Structure 1
Amino acid sequence: MTRLTRSALAALLSSAALFAALPAGAQDTHPETGEALAADQVFTYRLLDNVSSLDPQIVEDVDGSDVVRDLFEGLMNQDAQGNLVPGVATGYEVSDDRKTYTFTLREDAVWSDGEPVTAGDFVYAWRRAADPATASPYQWFVELMSLENAGAIVAGEMAPDQLGVSAPDDRTLEVRLSEPLPYFPQMTTHSTTFPTPQRVIEEHGSEWTRPENIVSNGAYVLTEYSPGERIVRERNEAYWNNAETIIDRVVALVINDENVALTRYLAGELDRTEVPAGQFPRLSQERPDEAISFPRLCNYYYTFNLSESGPEAFKDPRVRKALSLAVDRDIIVNNVKAGGEPPAYTFTPEAVAGFTPPETEMAGMTQAERDEMAKELLAEAGYGPDNPLSFDMIYNTDEAHEKIAVVLSQMWKQKLGVQATLANMEWKVFLDTRGQQDFEMARGAWCGDYNEASTFLDLLDSASGYNDGKYNNPEYDALIEQAKTAEDTTPLYTQAEQIIAEDMPVIPIYHYAGVYMLDSDVGGWPVDNVEQNWYSRELYKKAE
């Protein structure tokens, strides 16, 4: 066995000595920065909509994952720069063939009811995620991790207890991969891999995540959940690293209107909210210490329904490419969003570690040249004044999404004579509608589950659970499969992006920036972590 992380992780663990073993509220200053701490350590922020779930194996949205990351803790966490640091596991070893990982679990990790967190809790959770009976939206992620027998289990051809994960003892988790996967450890920071308490789930069924039932192992416990209104989590005194936690209470308020959220932020009701589209330039001048923008590992796109239920017009790549060419991304990022988001001419963001976006034909053209090519392609496909193209496009309720959808429809109408009919939907209805291919064109966005290009490119693999448009290209699939074991993935990812640029199964619009109003009293926000896996226990409120 080759020891990979033990010495590095030991150094990270030693930083705990910097903290006094006192409740955070009893500390007058931050143990590392020396800043004076506020007496009231409550962090309040805005959610756009209700979260999809609080169950680690069911949650599928970014906001929901942020909450789950507070309530539960997996094998590994991330630091403020996105590097791996210990979670429930103190470290791991990997075999010489890089197909077996052995994680050592800490002895002081317990559930909020005082029961120890064991390797068996991870075995149960991972089997549960893979089991078709669970109907996890992230079931495909287990297969993506290259766990032994995952494909057959996901397909219902093998029992979940055959998954390549076992517990030789309570403190040892053994993971067997079907093939080496260089970024496997990074995948253990994802909520799908978090442990779940079998005894609680078996007792309460689907209601196990209600505040009165839930048992969790993270730095916080759930104390209030009013769907569509608020989610409150409070310090978990049983958490193994509770002495380092400073924020006592986290309140997430569901506010559908971003301008209302901004008003409430300016009134002092929120510590963090998103900047409404187009308002960052003004706010950064008026409140330079609070308006922030930084790169994020996310993309924003529109996807075509290429399944049998999709419109016939979209089965022609010339139509798809024409619509993408006619989108003036500079107008969207500079005039609509105006928050520092880069325009997207590839599906994978440039912020991804080790990824250099290939030069696509579209990126090298002027917008006038793109518009001209769009008209030519649409005419070649048989659409024009005598046979106008029309379709429906859907997005989830949000002012920024609405503005972008309106601008897109206007661009297509003015340049190409295309009629796009817009419809907005509540978040859960939208997810269900898109997931069942009950649409023609739909908004899409993806934030990386780990910092590697495959977290984006895998979405368009024909077998991906989040390939909502049901794009299917065997050549593309083969490239993605080959990249999993390749020493040099760069040429493979370049080819994959070039296929996307030619087939255009999606229309990349822009790559995200984190554009927030963040109260200057809040410290510890991980602006250098492009994945934005943030932990409330790392935040703190400064004294005014």
Structure 2
Amino acid sequence: MRWTKVVALAAAGTVSLAACGGGSPSDKKTDAGKGSSSSTSQGTAAADLQADAKGPAPEIQGAKKGGTLTIKYASVPETFDPTRAYYQDTMAILSQLVTRTLTTYKVENGKSVLVPDLATDLGKASKDGLTWTFTLKDGLKYADGTPIKAADIAYAVKRSFATEELPDGPPYVMDYLLDGDKYKGPFKDKGEYKGVVAKDDKTIEIKLKKKWPTFPYYAAFTQVSPIPQAKDTKDKYGDNPIATGPYMFDKYVKGQSLTLKKNPNWDAASDPARRQYVDSYNFQFGADIKPTQTAILASTGPDATTLNWDGVDSTLLQKVNQQKDQLVTGPDPCVTYFNIDTRSVPFEVRKAIAAAYPYDQVRKASGATSLSFSPATSYMAPQVPGFKAYAPQNGMTGQGTGDPEKAKKMLKDAGKENFEISWYYTQDNPEAVKANIARKTAFEKAGFKVKDVGVPKADARKRRAETDGKVNTLTGPAGWCYDWPAGDSVYPALFTSAVQKGGHSVGFLADKTLDAEINRIIGLDADKQGPEWNKLDEKLAKDYIPAIPLGYGKANFIFGKQVHNVVNDPNRGMPDLAQVWVG
């Protein structure tokens, strides 16, 4: 992510999951990846590259084949279209199980490293840094047995530009690829696009307008998974994307469930990261967290082969601590936010919102625990290389009960008494309902008028992505997981004018000075960017307040007693699904 929009308890404004990739280099190792699931803390973030990695992925000691792994969790995916996928869950399901990409992540010995996937290596950059070239491996096939060609990857990349037809995906190609700010995708622009070219059936060239040294990380995104143009069903493609990974869609009921079965044409010998242990995966969406986790801990019947990746419910902490062999925790590259629409909420009011924010009340009401977060004071996750903590700005400490009297005075001084703030909340999620009551009560006490609009789980993501200004807080991503361990995977995607209408803008900022500063930092050498991103983060918190940072994420997974080798992918904050076996 992740890329990276936040889900799970996002509607409660507390803990979350999001699409992501990346972490900070480390040589620390754990027993992750060696067949053990008993460790409660697992995996270290990593940015390592392994260009010579080959398939097949090594066998997991003691692993058995067969059975069904059930995954129940709270949120409801909006789409499984690889072009639009930008949430932690959808990207994990697709990239680990269904769709292969030019590169991918392999989790081994507690570290997540970038390895070749469909490509023979991690790509070759030209001397001027403006062209990346990848060569595909031999014998690659889709689930239907037809060959995978470079033209299919080129088409998939072009598809990423069709933001009107296929919204909400990552915006990087528009910013980096040649003429990316002009090309509108293959549905509108029927002519040739020079930014991505299939030189032959096995060679693809990516042409840039500015250097992108981290492109091999982007090449692991589902937006770079092959799609044959002749089989593109456009807005229906996400209902059954053509598989290239070890599993394929069997049955998908939108808003409810997804079942995957084995892909008979997946070639394990060409894949250094994935395995094909279970017969099927059964994903069930919109689950209530506490009853789901309670059943999994009891492990009766099918619950013994079930996994949940939502934050541990606070009422279950004691039980979880007694059954640590059913819990895995680890790094998560995500930060959650309370977003504020800067187009309609004046800066002085945003400062009052920050002063009043009831961190502790919302967390207690929603059942958030220290297993899932630590208080955030910045927009960037603190483990990114070059990042240094700064003093909290505008009272945004990430913790406490807020100061309603101070906020009330700030509103009065600004001539904005009874200012109306509005948001959507998930009306059929018990935790979100409780969190909404706590947040609404606190803001009303601070002198705000509150308009809270309940929506069903199935519509929550769609409503958050709306840019029409019908509500003025909690729109856009409820948080962000860096896509790789550098600021260029966070700030351009969230805070520039170019993304204001893309569904993932934080605060809907459109500031030319800010845009220029972000572009300046991107142009620096990679080793000089970190401190500059740090200064920018502090400036955002001091002079803009597009959102209130809430929590730095922690990954934690609860699973049944017959689920084995649950390993955290620290670059996603998600379990590496292709390593799990049951029995």
Per the TM superposition, whether the score is higher than 0.5 is yes
Q: How many Å separate the matches in 2 of 1:484 and 1:251?
A: 42
Partner residue in 2 for 1:245: 276
The one-character-per-residue Cα deviations of 1:466-514 (angstroms, maximum 9, x if unpaired) are: 2164222222212221222212112321232122212211122112222
Q: Return 216-225 or 276-285, whichever deviates more.
A: 276-285
Distance across 2 between alignment mates of 1:494 and 1:205 = 40
Q: Does 1:231 align with 2:252?
A: no
Residue 520 of structure 1 deviates from its aligned partner by 4.8
SS at match of 2:517: helix
- After the TM superposition, which residues 7-156 of structure 1 pair with which residues of structure 2 at under 5 Å, given as runs? 8-10=50-52, 12-13=53-54, 16=56, 31-32=59-60, 34-35=61-62, 37-38=63-64, 40-69=66-95, 70-80=97-107, 81-91=111-121, 92-131=123-162, 134-138=165-169, 140-144=171-175, 146-154=176-184
Secondary structure of the structure 2 residue equivalent to 1:150: coil
Match of 2:218 among 157, 173, 187: 187
Structure 2 residue aligned with 1:360: 392
Alpha-carbon shift at residue 419 of structure 1 (Å): 3.4
Taking only aligned residues, the RMSD between alpha carbons, in angstroms, comes to 3.1
* Structure 1: distance between partners of 2:202 and 2:249: 26
User: How many angstroms apart in 2 are the aligned matches of 1:328 and 1:132?
Assistant: 36
Which one-letter code corresponds to 1:245 in the other structure?
Answer: Q
Deviation, structure 1 residue 378: 2.5
What is the CA–CA distance in structure 2 between the aligned matches of 1:134 and 1:151, rounded to whole Å?
16
Q: 1:215 offset after TM fit, Å?
A: 2.6
Match of 2:124, SS? Answer: strand
- Counterpart of 2:516? 478
User: Structure 2: how far apart are the matches of 1:199 and 1:117?
Assistant: 13
- 1:407 aligns to what SS in structure 2? helix
Match of 1:461 in 2: 496
Q: Name the SS of the counterpart of 2:497 in structure 1.
A: coil
Match of 1:449 in 2: 483
Distance in 2, Cα, partners of 1:392 & 1:49: 22
CA–CA separation in structure 2 for the residues paired with 1:468 and 1:364: 19
Alignment pair present for 1:408 and 2:435: no
Counterpart in the other structure of 2:6: none
TM-score by length of structure 1 reads 0.84
> Residues of 2 paired with 1:64 and 1:394: CA distance?
22
1:508 and 1:139, CA in 2 relative to 1: closer, same or farther beyond 3 A? Answer: closer
Contact 2:440 2:450 in 1 (8 A): yes
SS for the counterpart of 1:130 is: coil
How many Å apart are 1:285 and its aligned residue? 2.0
Structure 2 Cα separation of the partners of residues 78 and 348 of structure 1: 22
The percentage of aligned residue pairs carrying the same residue is 18
1:368 offset after TM fit, Å?
8.6
Alpha-carbon separation, structure 2, partners of 1:382 and 1:391: 15
Q: Which moved more, 1:79-88 or 1:522-531?
A: 522-531
| Whole-Å separation in 1 of the counterparts to 2:226 and 2:211 | 23
Change (3 A) 1:223 1:350: same
Answer yes or no: is the 8 Å Cα contact 2:357–2:402 preserved in 1. Answer: no
Counterpart position of 2:329: 293
Counterpart of 1:26 in structure 2 is none
Measure how far apart 1:429 and its partner are.
3.2
Distance 1:453 1:393, change over 3 A: same
Offset, 1:354: 4.3
Question: What displacement does 1:222 show?
Answer: 0.5
1:417-436 CA-partner distances (Å, limit 9, x unpaired): 32323223235533443423
Shift of 1:250: 0.9
In the alignment, is residue 426 of structure 1 matched against residue 453 of structure 2?
A: no
Distance in 2 (CA, whole Å) between partners of 1:328 and 1:129 is 39
For residue 456 of structure 2, what is the amino acid of its counterpart?
A: E
2:26 is aligned to none
**Alpha-carbon separation, structure 2, partners of 1:409 and 1:110:** 53
Q: Which residue of 1 aligns with 2:381?
A: 349
Partner of 1:392: 422
Amino acid at match of 2:415: G
Task: Give the alignment's TM-score, normalised by structure 2.
Answer: 0.79
Seen in structure 2, the aligned counterparts of structure 1 residues 287 and 534 have a Cα distance that, compared at 3 Å, is: closer
Distance (Å, rounded) in 2 between the aligned partners of 1:499 and 1:258? 37
State the secondary structure of the residue aligned to 1:337.
coil
Contact 1:329 1:344 in 2 (8 A): no
Closer, same or farther: CA 171–413 of 1 in aligned 2, 3 Å: same
Distance 1:519 1:160 in 2: 53
Q: How does 1:198-277 map to 2 (within 5 A)?
A: 198-201=229-232, 204=233, 206-210=235-239, 214-241=241-268, 244-265=275-296, 266=298, 267-270=300-303, 271-273=306-308, 274-277=310-313
Gaps of 5+ in 2: 1-46
Moved more, 497-506 or 396-405: 396-405
Q: In structure 2, what is the Cα distance between the partners aligned to 1:512 and 1:403?
A: 21
Bigger fraction of residues in helix: 1
SS at match of 1:9: coil
Equivalent position SS for 1:186: helix
What amino acid does structure 1 have at the position aligned with 2:315? Q
Distance 1:456 1:403, change over 3 A: farther
Give the paired residue count. 507
* Partner residue in 2 for 1:28: none
Taking structure 1 as reference, are residues 268 and 449 closer, same or farther at Cα in structure 2, changes over 3 Å only?
farther
Q: Tell me, what secondary structure is at the counterpart of 2:489?
A: helix
Distance 1:411-1:247 versus aligned 2 partners, 3 A rule = same
